[in-house]
Chain A
Amino acid sequence: MIRRKRLAAGALALLAALTAGTAFPATAAADGTDGRPAPQVELVLDVSGSMRERDVDGGTRMAAAKQAFGEVLDATPEEVLLGIRTLGANYPGDDRVEGCEDTEQLYPVGPLDRVEAKTAVATLTPTGWTPIGPALKAAARDFREGEGTRRIVLITDGEDTCQPLDPCEVAREIAARGIGLTIDTLGLVPDARTRDQLLCIAEATGGTYTSVRHKDELADRVGQLVERAAEPTVTPVAVEGTDACVDAPVLESGLYTDRAEFGQARWYRVGLEPGQEVRAAVSVASDREVNPGYGVLLRAVTVHGREMVRGEAAGHGRTDLVSTGLRLPKEDDEEALAEVVCLEVTHSFSPAAGVKTTPGLPVELTVDVVDGPSDASDVAAFGLGRGWWLIGALVVTGFLAGLLWGWVSRWRVAVWRTN
């Protein structure tokens, strides 16, 4: 008897789990996110010897960083998985090779234990080199598997001392892996070269750069960046466009990322039923130093190469991206067949002198296939009129019609009488 009840209970629980399981992730799976993936943030702190300098509001740079970390750790939202990595914290010697390997995960990326994390930060003393490149490489590996946004916040007071590995290149490579990673950089009392390098790192991943001269600025900005990471955003799906329409990947509604090299066209395909409309928007980001003139062209082409509609944009000067879009309705004709629309993305960014051209520039593509519009048969809504001219015209016409009607009927009466 008991056994049977248990069975029933088990079945019920299973049913509940099944309905819950199928009803909700299904909605999310469509755009490549599962439910609500936890955002991950890693703070990368420079603990090199130069952090000893006393030029941040009268205290050392290290003290300012520690205080900021204390505040940030207190304010970190629950859902954020936070980790801390240091660079230059352990090796005080002069050996370059060893100094450049000196990066350590102080607190693993995971649910935050504030006390533990704070204690770990408190033990830090400014020590060694500034291996930014190796630290970023290691930091990118620290993240857990999953779909959530990943953000590295790099806090440093000096440029990388471990050339020839260019941290800027490292950042671009990490970004090119398509794991949705952003690096934000903060320069503590930075000099010109540090600033340029941090700016380059931030630019390479679509992150931001901030120069910090005061304690509270540091805490505010790091806190803001951590909170930004907690904002729910859609994670794009990595896709690889091809050089021709024939073998291009078929896209459904969603958000996609790709890379397009300089001078390279990327093709995608979208299926379109009669009575539907495809909407595509594309943005190409400039993640490195490029020449001032730029543009982007998005074309919708039939499989036979006939262009149907295009979107284009161009600009000049400093920019983070250039974007355009198009929409293409397909008439709801009984004889019309479903069609494959080829989308071609080209951009006209050109690399500044001495800038690496691979990997290509990040491309973000949104595709929406929706019901088609009800087309206009007139410029005005339903062909209706509006305004005093309309009223006047109707009044005059009405009056004339009335007169005419009156005269005609009088004339008819007169004719009838004479007969």
Chain B
Amino acid sequence: MRLTRAFGGAVLLLGLAVAPAAADASPSASGDEKDGRPTEAGTSFRSATAIDPGVGATAQGSTGDYLYWSFGADATQRPTVRASVRLPEEHAGETWQIDVYDGLRRRQACRHGAQTRTAPAGTSSVELACALRTVRGWAEPWSDDPLPGTYYIRLSAVGLPVSDVGRAVSAEVRVETADAGGAAAVDGALAEPLIPGIALRADAEEAAGDGESDDSAAPVLSGTAAEDGWSSGRWTDRWAWTAAGGVLAALTGVWGHSLTRGRGRPGA
């Protein structure tokens, strides 16, 4: 009897030790959310709010704040970031900008889109956009091509009359991704997506073992996770094209061969 109770106690103890770990959610899940839409933004790379593509995230802040969000992009995807800022009622003209950084905090170029815009006094909002380059599965270390992993959005006022600093603003960001498909499928692959802190996460998963991979006890540097897992880079529609080409070549080969035979046996 006592033994069972003691055993129960031991189990409870173990449970207590595990509970905070299990209760701990990744940054993407925590924070204020309304219908799955984040309503807060981070103020640094470390505290960036994770958002999912296609979901509009809002945030309240003060003019002069630097607001950060993060999202994940996989190989062959083409993310486009859109932001709209609702400016304070009275302002003396402000310039806003979105910058997109990759998982290594390298600033990413925009193919097109108004990345920086000046709102003259009297305008109530400003719309910004940045269409990123296609994410490649692999790139040489010396290039800064976009790679699968975390991307950070930074929204900030770059031109700001000092009288406007500290006024309340609200912002909305949305990430849309299009898939470039096999046209952008390159050879080679990263062992791990470009997510900051991925090495620690991998270690933690190894230590936790038993398939309890997602709930590690410590907060993670970036909670970016792909919805259906990261692409392995093995499947691409190039397989289908190449196979189809092979089949057609075989068929036309047979056809070409049969033409030389004429009807019946040659020379007969």
* A interface residues, Cβ below 8 angstroms from B: 2, 5-6, 8-10, 12-13, 15-17, 19-21, 23-28, 30-31, 33, 35-36, 187, 190, 192, 195-196, 198-199, 206, 208-211, 217, 220-221, 224, 227-228, 231-234, 236, 253-255, 277, 279-283, 309, 311, 313, 317-320, 323-329, 364, 366, 368-387, 390-391, 393-407, 409-410, 413-414, 417
Closest A-chain residue to B219, C-beta based? Answer: A232
Please tell me if the beta carbons of A383 and B208 are within 8 angstroms of each other in the complex: no
B104–A279 CB distance below 8 A: yes
Query: In the bound complex, how far is the Cα of B3 from the Cα of A255, in angstroms?
Result: 45
22 inter-chain pairs at a CB distance below 8 angstroms, sorted by A residue, are A10-B6, A16-B11, A16-B17, A17-B17, A20-B16, A33-B218, A192-B162, A210-B62, A231-B31, A281-B105, A325-B102, A368-B196, A370-B198, A382-B187, A395-B248, A395-B249, A405-B253, A405-B257, A406-B257, A406-B261, A409-B260, A413-B266
Tell whether, in the assembled complex, residue B194 and residue A279 are in contact, meaning their CB atoms are under 8 Å apart.
Answer: yes
Decide yes or no: A27 and B216 within 8 Å by CB, A228-B43, A370-B192 being known contacts: yes
Which stretch of B118-126, B127-135, B171-179, B230-238 is in the interface?
B230-238
Q: Which residues of B contact A317 (CB under 8 A)?
A: 158-159
Which B residue sits closest to A31, measured CB to CB?
A: B200
Q: Are A31 and B238 in contact (CB under 8 A)?
A: no
- Measured between C-beta atoms, what is the minimum distance from A288 to chain B in Å? 15
Given contacts A5-B2, A227-B40, contact A394 B249 (CB under 8 A): yes
Residue in chain B with minimal CB distance to A224? B60
Query: Digit string of B198-211 for contact with A (CB within 8 Å is 1, else 0)?
Result: 11101110011000
Q: Which residues of A contact B259 (CB under 8 A)?
A: 402-403, 406
In order of increasing CB-CB distance, the 5 nearest A-B pairs are: A402-B256, A406-B260, A325-B104, A9-B6, A398-B249
Chain B residue contacts of A206, Cβ below 8 A: 43-44
A198 vs B202: C-alpha distance when bound (angstroms):
41
Q: How far is the CA of A405 from the CA of B250 in the complex (A)?
A: 12
- A5 x B6 contact (CB < 8 A): yes
The complex places the Cα of A253 from the Cα of B226 at a distance, in Å, of 22
Judged by a CB distance under 8 angstroms, whether B165 is at the interface is yes
Instruction: Please name 5 further chain A to chain B contacts, defined as beta carbons within 8 Å, in addition to the given A23-B17, A30-B203, A253-B197, sorted by A numbering.
Output: A9-B5, A232-B24, A279-B104, A313-B106, A417-B267
Please state if A31 and B197 are interface contacts (CB–CB under 8 Å). yes
B64 near A209 (CB under 8 angstroms)? Answer: yes
Q: Which residues of A contact B141 (CB under 8 A)?
A: 309, 326-329
Main secondary structure of the interface of B (DSSP, over half): mixed
Q: For residue A5, which residues in chain B have a CB less than 8 angstroms away from its CB? A: 2-3, 6
Q: Is the CB of A366 within 8 A of B217?
A: no
Which chain B positions have C-beta within 8 A of A381? Answer: 137, 182, 185-187, 233, 236, 238
How many angstroms from the CA of A23 to the CA of B208 in the assembled complex?
7
The docked-state distance in angstroms from the alpha carbon of A244 to that of B267 is 87
Q: In chain B between 215 and 265, which residues have their CB closer than 8 angstroms to a CB of chain A?
A: 216-221, 233, 236-239, 241-242, 244-246, 248-261
Minimum CB–CB distance for B151 against chain A, Å:
13
Contact of B200 among A6, A30, A192, A391 (CB under 8 A): A30
Does B71 have its Cβ within 8 Å of any Cβ on chain A?
A: no
- CA distance in complex: A148, B241 (Å): 54
Measured between alpha carbons, how far is A313 from B144 in the docked complex, in Å? 11
Partner of A318, one of B43, B104, B160: B160
- Chain A residues, Cβ within 8 Å of B218: 27-28, 30-31, 33, 35-36, 234
Chain A CB count within 10 A is highest, among B6, B40, B141, B167, for B141
**Residue picked from A220, A380, A381, A386, most chain B C-beta under 10 Å:** A381
Interface positions of B from 130 to 153, Cβ below 8 Å from A? 137-138, 141-142, 144
Q: How far is the CA of A198 from the CA of B64 in the complex (A)?
A: 13
Distance in angstroms from B56 CB to nearest chain A CB is 19
Please name the residue on chain B nearest to A388 by beta carbon.
B241
Report the bound CA distance from A206 to B221 in whole Å: 18
Does chain A have a CB within 8 A of B114? no
Pick the contact of B165 from A16, A209, A236, A395 — CB < 8 Å?
A209
A226 to chain B, nearest CB (A): 12
> What is the minimal beta-carbon distance from A165 to any residue of chain B, in angstroms?
24
Is B61 on the interface with A (CB-CB < 8 A)?
yes
- Asked whether any CB of chain A lies closer than 8 Å to the CB of B92, the reply is no
A398–B252 CB distance below 8 A: yes
A5 to chain B, nearest CB (A): 5
Minimum CB distance partner of B16 in chain A: A20
Q: B158 contacts A6, CB within 8 Å?
A: no
Is residue B36 contacting chain A, with contact meaning CB distance below 8 A?
A: no
Q: Which residue in chain A gives the minimum CB-CB distance to B195?
A: A368
Which residues of the partner chain A approach B233 to less than 8 Å between Cβ atoms? 381
Query: Chain B, 25-41, contact with A by CB distance < 8 Å: what is the 0/1 string?
Result: 00100111000000010
Knowing A16-B14, A208-B43, A281-B104 are in contact, say whether A368-B197 is a contact too (CB < 8 A).
yes
Chain A residues, Cβ within 8 Å of B185:
380-381, 386
Q: Which A residues touch B250, using CB under 8 A?
A: 398
Q: When the two chains form their complex, are residues A323 and B241 in contact, meaning their CB atoms are under 8 A apart? A: no
**A190 to B62 alpha-carbon distance, docked (Å):** 14
Q: Which of B14, B65, B248, B252 contacts A20 (CB 8 A)?
A: B14
Minimum Cβ distance to chain A for residue B19 (Å): 10
Q: Which residues of A contact B16 (CB under 8 A)?
A: 20
Q: Establish whether residues B105 and A324, one from each chain, have CB atoms under 8 Å apart when the complex forms.
A: yes
CB-nearest residue of chain B to A214: B168
- Given that A209-B64, A220-B60, A398-B256 are contacting pairs, would A282 and B105 also be in contact in the complex, using a CB cutoff of 8 Å? yes
Give chain A residues whose Cβ lies under 8 Å from the Cβ of B106: 281, 311, 313, 323-325
Partner of A385, one of B216, B242, B255: B242
Q: How far is the CB of A103 from chain B (nearest CB, A)?
A: 24
Return chain B residues, CB-CB under 8 Å to A31: 197, 200, 218, 221
